[in-house]
Structure 1
Amino acid sequence: MKNTNSKWLYLFVLALIWGSSFILIKKSLLGLTPYQLGALRTIISGIFLFVAGYKSVFSIKKSEWKWIILSGFLGSFFPAFLFAIAETEIDSAVTSILNSLVPLNTVLFGFAVFKIASTKRQILGVIIGFIGTSILILKGAELNPNQNYLFAGYIILATCMYALNVNIIKKHLQYTKPLSIATGNYVAILIPAVVILCFTDFFNESTFRHPNFNMSMLYVVILSFFGTALAKVLFNTLVQISTPVFASSVTYLMPVVALVWGLLDGEGFSVVQALGSFIILIGVYLSHKRKR
C-alpha cells in the first residue's frame, strides 16, 4: 500500500517538474544556442549531483558501470541537446506532447529488447494515451502552421532513448540506489559536455553581452536543479518502486502542465486540446499495472 501511494505522489511531482521544463528550455534559448544550453544543463546538473551524492558513486558495482554509462548518455546527455534543438522550431507545449511517445516506446523496447512483459491493461492505457497525444499534436499543428514539424524527429529520437533508459534501469539497475545511478550518469557525461561547451563560442565576449544572457543562465540553473538533477533521482526511484510503463506514464501528465505554461506565455490552447488532455489522463490510469 505504501509503494502504491508513493508512486502516485512521485508521478505527479515529476509531472509538475518536467512539465515546467519545456517552458524553461524555451526561455533559456532566448540568450543561448541549443548546444550551449544542452552542455550547460548537463554541467550544472552534474555539479548539483556531485555535491549531493559523490559518496554514493562508490557503492556502484564494477559490473554495473557499463549500464550506468549507457543510461547516462541515453537518459540525460543526448536528450538535453535534442530537446533544445527541437524547441528552436517547435512550441514548448507541442514538444511536451511529442514526448508522450515515451510510454509507447517503453512497451515496444521492453518487449522486443529486454523481454519485460506488459499486461493488456498497460497496452490499452498506452494506446488510449497515444490517441490523446495525437489529438493534441494535430490541433497544435493547426494552431501553429508556421512551425517546422521536421524538428519533431529530434523529439521522437529522444523518446526512443528515454524508453531504452527506463528499461535499462529496471532490468540492470533495479537494486542500485537512485542517487548512485544519477550521480554515476553524470560522472560519465560531464567531460563530453564540457568539451562541447568549449566549441560553442560560449566563452566569447559577445555571448556574455547578449541582452538575455543573465536571465537565460538563471533559467538554465533552475532547469538543471529541478528538471534534471532532482527529477533524475525521483524518476529512478519511481522506476524501482513501480514498473517501466507506469514510470514513463509521467510523460502523459507533462503536456497538461506544459500547456498551462504555454497558455500563460501566449501559446494557443483549444477545447479540443483539453479533450486530448483528458484522454491522456485516462491512459495514465489504465497503464497502472495492478497486482493480483
Structure 2
Amino acid sequence: MNQDIRKEGALKSWLFLVLLALIWGSSFILIKRGLLVFSPGEVGAYRIVSAGLVLVPLSVSKLKNLNRRQVGNLIIVGFVGSFIPAFLFAKAQTQLSSSLTGVLNALTPLCVVMVGAVFFKSRITRRNAFGLLIAFIGVGILITVREGGGLGTFAQINAYAFLVLLATLCYGINLNIIKYWFVALKPVEITAISLLMVLPLASLYLFLFTDFSFKLVHVEGGYLAAGYITILGVVGTAIALILFNILVKIATPVFASSVTYLIPIVAVLWGVWDGEVLLMGHYIGISVVIFGVWIGNRNARARITNSNIENK
C-alpha cells in the first residue's frame, strides 16, 4: 500500500513538473506574439495587470494582517520579482529570439546562489562557483554568435541579452528576499500581494501613458495579441504559481526547482516551430549554459527525497 502511494505521488509530481515546464517554457513565445502588436512597455504592463487582477481575491483578504514593514518589503518584491522583469523580458525580445531568451532565463537558480552569497551571507560552494563560470561562458557564446555561424567580437555582442541577465538577477534578489525576510506568509500569498502592490502603477502606465487601448481596438490582431498576453499573465504567472506551490508540497522544493532544466527545452522547441533559426554556435552555447546550471545545482539535486509523501 505504501509503495502504491509512493508511485502515485511520484507520478503526480512528474506530471506537475512537466506541466509547469510547458507553461513557463511557452512564456517567451507568448511575449513574442504580444510584441507583434504592442510595444514592450505595453506587453510588460498588461502582463502585470492581468496577473494581478486574477489574484486580487487572494491578495486583498490578506492585507489587513500585514504590518507596515511587511507592506514595504512586499512592494520591493513586487518590483524586483514581477514588475521590472516583465518589462525587461519584453524589451529583450525585440532583438532576441524567444528560444534564446528562454535559455538565458535558466540562469535564475545560479543568480539566486550568487545574490545570496553576496548580500545575504549564504554559503556558495566551489561547485556553485564552477557552475556559474561554465554557465556564463555559455552566455558569452550565445551573445557573440554571428549570422555566419562564427563568433563575433566584443563590439558585436547583442547587448539585449544583458536585459535578460538583469531580469534573472532581479529574480535572484526576489527569491532571497522571500527566503530571508518573510516567514509567516506563504509563497502564493507573497506573490499575490506583491502583484497587488504594483498593479495600480502598471494600470496607470498602461491606460494613461500608452496606446494600448487604441491598438487593442483599432490595430488588426489587437485582441489576439492581448489574448496571448492575458494567457501569459493569468496562466504563466497566477495559475503556474499555484501549481508550483502544489508541486513543492507533494514533492520537495529541490525537485520542483528542476523545472529550470526543462524550460529552455520547451522554449527552444517553440522557437524552432515558429521558424527561428538557431546556428551551431547557439546550440553549443545552449548546451554549455544548461550544463553549467546542472553543475551548479548538482549537490542540491542529490538530496531529493520522498520525505513529504508520509505527510499526505
Q: TM-score range by the shorter chain?
A: 0.7 to 0.9
Shift of residue 219, structure 1, vs aligned partner: 0.3
Shift of residue 27, structure 1, vs aligned partner: 0.4
Instruction: Map 1:98-113; keep pairs closer than 5 Å.
Output: 98-113=104-119
Matching residue within 180, 194, 199 for 1:171? 180
Closer/same/farther in 2, CA of residues 80 and 178 from structure 1, 3 Å limit? same
Closer/same/farther in 2, CA of residues 249 and 120 from structure 1, 3 Å limit? farther
Contact 2:143 2:158 in 1 (8 A): no
Aligned twin of 2:3? none
Matching residue within 205, 229, 240 for 1:220? 229
Deviations 1:108-139 (A, max 9, x none): 21101011213334444444444455555555
Deviations 1:166-192 (A, max 9, x none): 111111124421221111111210010
Aligned twin of 2:167? 158
Counting matched residue pairs gives: 287
- Name the SS of the counterpart of 1:149 in structure 2: coil
Instruction: Map 1:103-142; keep pairs closer than 5 Å.
Output: 103-139=109-145
Larger radius of gyration, structure 1 or 2?
Answer: 2
Matching residue within 193, 196, 210 for 1:200? 210
Contact 1:57 1:180 in 2 (8 A): no
Structure 2 residue runs without a partner (length 5+): 1-5, 305-312
Shift of residue 63, structure 1, vs aligned partner: 3.7
Q: In the aligned structure 2, how far is the partner of 1:167 from the partner of 1:43?
A: 24
Percent identity of paired positions between Structure 1 and Structure 2: 39
Instruction: Map 1:1-292; keep pairs closer than 5 Å.
Output: 12-60=18-66, 62-139=68-145, 149-197=158-206, 198-204=208-214, 207-234=216-243, 242=253, 250-269=259-278, 273-274=282-283, 277-286=286-295, 287-288=297-298, 289=300, 290-291=302-303
Closer/same/farther in 2, CA of residues 92 and 180 from structure 1, 3 Å limit? same
Q: In the aligned structure 1, how far is the partner of 2:147 from the partner of 2:118?
A: 32
Closer/same/farther in 2, CA of residues 157 and 273 from structure 1, 3 Å limit? closer
Contact 1:143 1:268 in 2 (8 A): no
Contact 2:216 2:222 in 1 (8 A): yes
| Alignment-mate amino acid for residue 103 of structure 2 | I
Q: Please report the RMSD computed on the Cα atoms of aligned residues, expressed in angstroms.
A: 3.5
Structure 1 residue runs without a partner (length 5+): none
Normalising by structure 1, we get a TM-score of 0.82
| Alignment-mate amino acid for residue 16 of structure 1 | L
